[in-house]
């Protein structure tokens, strides 16, 4: 029997009246060494529940596999939440959005161009069923009916904004029920009649998402469901950022006033986000409505708890609001954590990328370029190489464009960049002589996470021609970045020529603590500290620093590696005690 049930106007937990006061905290965006700290701070703000998505693409990286370790050790996260006295809302998808790469759908699944995502297509539902067959057994002990913290589980995610296949929603519901999920099930949709009509199920709790106009949106939910709890399952109190756009913020007083209105209406809430965390590695998503817009590495979200876990203005404002409506622990509010002293890192070892890649195995040869998807490359980069039989001035034409950003080289010299967001397909070049080597380094900047373009291909998307003549005989090479131990670094006191290169340096740490990596003078690339992939940097902003979690550091010598794709004005990086996510834009 489920622990959480509903009455005519609210919730009952084990038969007693209960209001959900929850905050979103994605375990996969937080270093596991910091989970306990973040959960404690959730409780101290007055939350009685935390919510998290489950990213299918990480938990099942290849068909038939299951990853539940390290950053993905969800059973451990659930045990820690319960130890802190918190309940948990689980949102397993299959689709999660979350500004996450491909909305959490696995690349191996969406690479099938004929599959109908998020529908009753058996190719999709069978794959999700097999995933649940693996995922749920280790999670069932953590359901509230079995003594665990999980009190509710979501069916799909904002489905009304995507489709109207009710049979599909029922399949997801029954897939959970038939595998032992007895807890309350809920759907989550934007607060309008069309979305609620397409995205809800009879007998399943309907919840809504919004960030303002509280009374209007709760009225929309009540019009759709005359009885039952009122709940905002995503109360948006900040927003996410795109590269080249503004850094979004929302004033604490404005967000707190709306939270007070919501709680005063007797509604339950899940604050999105309580703690945003970071899109480490290649995990960020992208939007694509009129143009492609990749999401930045930080997922700070202007949340009550900052990216580095410090209480911000919203933390204190929300704690005060919650205290008017529910008990708040009689303990001091948390204070900002320690930060590493300012440190300069000299990167005096270097290894050019393209010559290094030419020494590696893994080439796929084809007449025309092969997409990254067909190469089995889920993230990162692909290098394409051929020769140009002609010479002179002309246009390189990339049929279908690129996914998502291509750097073009002739005989090793950079000649231009093409970007999906600008809809680029042509590049004027001068080929010095017949037989010149053409290399194209294509970067996947994040899979679209919302709307019909989820699963859009990456890499070179069609044939390439010069002066109207197709170029054939391509070498297509994935760029391995999982282990940088074989990169042939050599001493270098200067940045030298403006070509893609790895840069390496070391720095000393006394007592490990959080810090932020600032890269003035660098252009665009990836950063690793002690092998931990911090994510993407780019001088177009708004984000100017990358968060370095204290647990990735160690006393003594530490290593910083950058993959700089263009050029740098020097060989130094800075570790600072302050995040710089860009100018604020309320």
Q: Residues with catalytic annotation? A: 158, 234
- C-beta of residue 246 within 8 angstroms of C-beta of residue 282: no
Q: What angle do CA 330, 335, 341 make, to 5 degrees?
A: 160
571 within 8 A of 348, measured Cβ to Cβ: yes
> Is the bond preceding 404 in cis, omega lying within 30 degrees of 0?
yes
Structure token pair of residue 574: 């800075």
DSSP conformation class of 332? P
Q: Which residues contact 313 (CB under 8 A, 6 or more apart)?
A: 252
Give the DSSP letter of residue 471: P
DSSP state of 340: P
Contacts of residue 219, Cβ cutoff 8 Å, sequence gap at least 6: none
Q: Which of 498, 521, 507 is nearest to 575 (CA)?
A: 507
CA–CA separation, 460 and 382 (whole Å):
9
How, if at all, do strands 556-564 and 501-509 pair? antiparallel
Instruction: Enumerate helices (H) and strands (E) in the chain, giving the number of each.
Output: 11, 36
Rounding to the nearest 10 degrees, give the CA dihedral for residues 397, 399, 401, 405.
Answer: -60
Tell me whether residue 193 is exposed, middle or buried, using C-beta atoms within 10 angstroms of its C-beta: 0 to 12, 13 to 18, 19 or more. exposed
As a whole number of angstroms, the distance between CA 228 and CA 238 comes to 28
Structure tokens at 63: 């068909």
Length of the chain: 586
């Amino acid at each position: 029997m489920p622990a959480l049930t509903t009455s005519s106007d609210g919730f009952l937990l084990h038969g007693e009246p209960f209001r959900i006061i929850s905050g979103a905290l994605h375990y996969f965006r937080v270093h596991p060494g910091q989970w306990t700290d973040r959960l404690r701070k959730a409780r101290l703000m007055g939350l009685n529940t935390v919510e998290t998505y489950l990213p299918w693409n990480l938990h099942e990286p290849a068909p038939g596999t299951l990853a539940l370790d390290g950053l993905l050790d969800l059973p451990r996260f659930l045990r820690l939440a319960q130890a802190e006295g918190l309940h948990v809302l689980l949102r397993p998808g299959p689709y999660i959005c979350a500004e996450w790469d491909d909305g959490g759908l696995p690349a191996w699944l969406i690479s099938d161009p004929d599959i109908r995502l998020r529908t009753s297509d058996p190719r999709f539902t069978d794959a999700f069923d097999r995933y649940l067959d693996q995922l749920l057994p280790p999670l069932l002990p953590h359901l509230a009916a079995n003594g665990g913290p999980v009190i509710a589980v979501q069916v799909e995610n904002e489905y009304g904004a995507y489709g109207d296949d009710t049979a599909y929603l029922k399949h997801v519901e029954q897939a959970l029920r038939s595998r032992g999920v007895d807890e309350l099930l809920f759907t989550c949709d934007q607060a309008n009649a069309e979305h609620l009509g397409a995205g809800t199920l009879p007998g399943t709790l309907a919840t809504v998402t919004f960030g303002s106009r509280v009374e209007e949106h709760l009225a929309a939910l009540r019009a759709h469901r005359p009885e039952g709890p009122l709940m905002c399952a995503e109360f948006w109190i900040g927003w996410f950022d795109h590269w080249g756009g503004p850094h979004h913020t929302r004033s604490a007083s404005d967000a707190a006033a709306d939270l007070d209105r919501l709680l005063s209406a007797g509604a339950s809430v899940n604050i999105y986000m309580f703690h945003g965390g970071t899109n480490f590695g290649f995990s960020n998503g992208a939007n694509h409505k009129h143009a492609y817009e990749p999401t930045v590495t930080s997922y700070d979200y202007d949340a009550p708890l900052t990216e580095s876990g410090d209480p911000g203005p919203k933390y204190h404002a929300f704690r005060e609001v919650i205290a008017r409506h529910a008990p708040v622990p009689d303990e001091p509010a948390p204070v900002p954590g320690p930060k590493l002293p300012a440190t300069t890192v000299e990167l005096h070892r270097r290894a050019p990328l393209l010559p290094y890649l030419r020494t590696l195995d893994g080439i796929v040869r084809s007449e025309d370029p092969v997409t990254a998807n067909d190469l089995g490359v889920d993230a990162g980069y692909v290098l394409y190489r051929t020769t140009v039989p002609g010479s002179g001035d002309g246009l390189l034409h990339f049929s279908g464009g690129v996914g998502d950003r291509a750097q073009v080289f002739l005989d090793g010299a950079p000649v231009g960049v093409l970007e999906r967001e600008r809809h680029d397909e042509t590049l004027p070049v001068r080929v010095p002589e017949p037989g010149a080597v053409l290399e194209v380094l294509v970067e996947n900047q994040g899979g679209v996470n919302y709307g019909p373009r989820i699963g859009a291909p990456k890499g070179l998307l069609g044939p390439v021609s010069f002066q109207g003549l197709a170029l054939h005989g391509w070498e297509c090479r994935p760029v391995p970045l999982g282990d940088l131990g074989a990169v042939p670094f050599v001493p270098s006191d200067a940045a030298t020529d403006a070509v893609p290169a790895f840069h390496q340096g070391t720095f000393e740490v006394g007592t490990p603590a959080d810090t932020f990596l600032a890269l003035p003078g660098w252009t665009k690339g990836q950063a690793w500290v002690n092998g931990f992939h911090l994510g993407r940097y780019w001088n177009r902003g708004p984000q100017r620093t990358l968060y370095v979690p204290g647990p990735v550091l160690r006393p003594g010598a530490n290593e910083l590696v950058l993959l700089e794709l263009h050029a740098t004005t020097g060989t130094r990086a800075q570790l600072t005690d302050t995040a710089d996510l860009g100018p604020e834009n309320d």
